[in-house]
Amino acid sequence: MTPLYKCAEVLDLRADEIVKVVGDETGLLEPRLRAELERTTGQLRMLSDYAATPWRRTSPGITTVPVAVGPVAVFAASNFPLAFGVLGGDTGSAVAAGCPVVVKAHPAQPKTAELLGAVGAAALPEFELVYGGADKSLELVRDPRIRAVGFTGSLAGGRALMDAAAARPDPIPVYAEMGSLNPVFVLPSYDGDVSALAASVTNSSGQLCTKPNLVVTPSEEFAVSLAEAVATGKTHRMLTPAMAAAHAAWLEQASGLGRVYAGDSDPRPFALVAHEFDPSFLEEHFGPSVVIYVGDSIPAWDGSLTATILAADDDHDSVRDLLPALMNRAGRIIFNGVPTGVAVVDAMHHGGPWPATSAPWSTSVGPASVERFRRPVALQGFPEELVPGYR
């Protein structure tokens, strides 16, 4: 049994304990956490299988083979404490690449980190868990032994790690997933149900990196229907008091920018329906909220993990016109669906242009995520029996 398979097996066996500890510490609900744990163990096995597949490119006289980059620093994310946490995709892909891993626990989730760290220390060959705040994060990135970084979090946090990595005598790559607008464009003939889109805004109290922050529609009727559905969404405690305070502050600010439809649960889910565009609409707002702009177009928006098109058959010509612009600004484009619920499959690309990520050509989900942590080496003129991995 490979280390990643062993790790997945232990996580499965201790599922009840893990779900309780993580739920108590984060406020995330049991069904969400059980689904996330299943995703986590599945991706660990997938990454292990991918690493076991021989990887070579051969031309006459030249064979290219992969080499692990060396120790990787991974920063556990708060909003996906399992799938992007201590034993999440960044850790799994680094281990699959053959790299030692040092994981920095998220300060808001020490009990979760301790529990998962014990599993990692027992199952993985070269694994270390460290704790601390911003100073420890920078210290870790500056450590000359670290050769790459995996991070999921805020734009400010990712940029600080990138700056520290670039200032080293020997700069190293930082694969950072950061802020994302995830806009949704509703075309004129679309008359579909709004329930899935509303749930995409409020599920997990709006604390998903692919949550839609902005919906653009020409239809007042659609805007109101969606806003009312968002306001009735169920929410639960947010991950940290600071996140909850930021959401409340955004609700207060939004009240002066248009008509707000808000629910009564805590934190309050709300939708802002606006007819005049404000620059704040192009910002990511963590929490169960969405801006619904009634209009035909918006100003240029920054790179995003996703963009979504909702369209009817009569809109296909408009889709063809819109698609190139979206492909220039997003890493994944959804047609008549919602951006939340990232599938862990071979074809998935979870990335996007700055500031969604620091490396838009890479993905942090799926087997291709392994390639962030190994580099190709071309061996020229070697007899085949001297090439590593020769069978």
- Give the pLDDT score at 311: 98
Separation of alpha carbons 177 and 156, rounded Å: 11
Which secondary structure element, helix H or strand E, spans residue 110, and what is its range? Answer: helix 110-123
Domain boundaries, the chain: 3-178+357-386, 184-335
pLDDT (mean) for 288-294: 98
Of 265, 206, 207, 192, which Cα lies nearest the Cα of 231? 265
- Name every residue whose Cβ is closer than 8 Å to that of residue 82 and which is 6 or more positions away in sequence: 18, 22, 33, 36, 37, 39, 40, 88, 116
Question: Which residues in the chain belong to E strands, given as ranges?
Answer: 57-59, 62-68, 72-75, 101-104, 127-130, 148-152, 174-177, 184-186, 214-217, 259-262, 270-274, 289-294, 304-310, 330-335, 374-380
DSSP for residue 189: T
Q: 149: which 2 tokens?
A: 């970084």
Q: Are 283 and 161 in contact (CB under 8 A)?
A: no
pLDDT (mean) for 38-63: 94
Which secondary structure element, helix H or strand E, spans residue 71, and what is its range? Answer: none
Separation of alpha carbons 191 and 381, rounded Å: 63
pLDDT in tens, 145-186: 999 999 999 999 999 999 999 999 999 999 999 989 999 999
Q: Are 4 and 101 in contact (CB under 8 A)?
A: no
- Give the pLDDT score at 390: 63
pLDDT in tens, 208-219: 999 999 999 999
Q: Are 43 and 83 in contact (CB under 8 A)?
A: yes
| Cα pseudo-dihedral 127, 129, 133, 134, rounded to 10 | 0
- Name every residue whose Cβ is closer than 8 Å to that of residue 97 and which is 6 or more positions away in sequence: 51, 66, 68, 69, 370, 371, 372, 373, 374
Mean pLDDT of the chain: 97
- Give the pLDDT score at 389: 74
17-21, 343-347, 353-357, 387-391: least confident range: 387-391
- Name every residue whose Cβ is closer than 8 Å to that of residue 127 and which is 6 or more positions away in sequence: 91, 95, 100, 101, 103, 120, 121
pLDDT in tens, 327-386: 999 999 999 999 999 999 999 999 999 999 999 999 999 999 999 999 999 999 999 889
- Say how far residue 246 (Cα) sits from the centre of its chain: 20
- Give the pLDDT score at 180: 96
How do beta strands 62-68 and 57-59 pair? antiparallel
The C-alpha angle with vertex 33 and arms to 266 and 121, in degrees rounded to 5, equals 125
Separation of alpha carbons 363 and 188, rounded Å: 33
DSSP for residue 367: G
| Predicted confidence (pLDDT) at residue 391 exceeds the cutoff of 60 | no
pLDDT (mean) for 126-140: 97
pLDDT in tens, 215-239: 999 999 999 999 999 999 999 999 9
Q: Are 257 and 272 in contact (CB under 8 A)?
A: yes
Neighbouring C-alpha atoms within 13 Å toward the C-beta of 367 = 13
pLDDT (mean) for 193-201: 98
- Give the pLDDT score at 384: 87
Report the CATH architecture of 3-178+357-386: 3-Layer(aba) Sandwich (3.40)
With cut-offs at 50, 70 and 90, classify the pLDDT of residue 128: very high
| Predicted confidence (pLDDT) at residue 257 exceeds the cutoff of 60 | yes
pLDDT (mean) for 61-67: 94
- Say how far residue 131 (Cα) sits from the centre of its chain: 22
Q: Exposed (0-12), middle (13-18) or buried (19+): which is 218, by Cβ within 10 Å? A: middle
Residue bearing tokens 């995409």:
200
Phi, psi of 308 (to 5 degrees): -125, 140
Separation of alpha carbons 97 and 125, rounded Å: 13
According to CATH, the topology of domain 184-335 is: Aldehyde Dehydrogenase; Chain A, domain 2 (3.40.309)
Q: Catalytic positions, please?
A: 177, 209
